[in-house]
Amino acid sequence: MDEQAAGVVTVEILGQRYPIRSDLDGAYIARLASYVDEKMQRAANRTTVGDSVRVAVLTALNIADEYFRYRDARTVTSGDVIKLTTELEELVDRAVAQATNDARPSPAISK
């Protein structure tokens, strides 16, 4: 990574250098580029076609898949926690009601 000018960070992805102009921290941009480079290297190693556009598309699909799975897992987990909390609350309410009913003396039956 070379700092060429203020706000420009040069990164290397799949052997190509890219100057990136951004207000983001240069180290963060370098981490992003490293992540993308790693994903592209994996995609390139798995495909027999050496076309960099094809590798980039496969990489984008893999990263999108990771993102969707993460997003969906967070959504499902949050919903599950709310559902389980509600079910637990209802269970406790029923148990308290049952315990209260069990603690009351039985009405006397008179003849």
Is residue 26 one of the residues assigned to a domain? yes
Exposure string of 34-71, with b = 16+ CB inside 10 Å and e = fewer, is eebbebbeebbeeeeeeeeeebbebbeeeeeeeeeeee
Report if residue 89 sits inside a domain.
no
pTM above 0.75, yes or no: no
User: How many structural domains compose the chain?
Assistant: 1
User: Is 33 a domain residue?
Assistant: yes
**95 belongs to a structural domain:** no
Range of the domain at 54: 2-73
What would the pLDDT profile of 92-110 be if each residue is shown by its tens digit? 877 877 777 776 666 566 5
Residue from 76, 81, 43 nearest 61 by CA: 43
In a domain, 90, yes or no: no
Q: What is the pLDDT of residue 19?
A: 95
In a domain, 98, yes or no: no
Distance (Å, whole) CA 20 – CA 27: 12
> For the segment 21-80, what is each residue's pLDDT rounded down to a tens digit?
999 999 999 999 999 999 999 989 888 777 888 889 989 999 999 999 888 877 766 677
* Gap between the Cα atoms of 93 and 99, Å rounded: 10
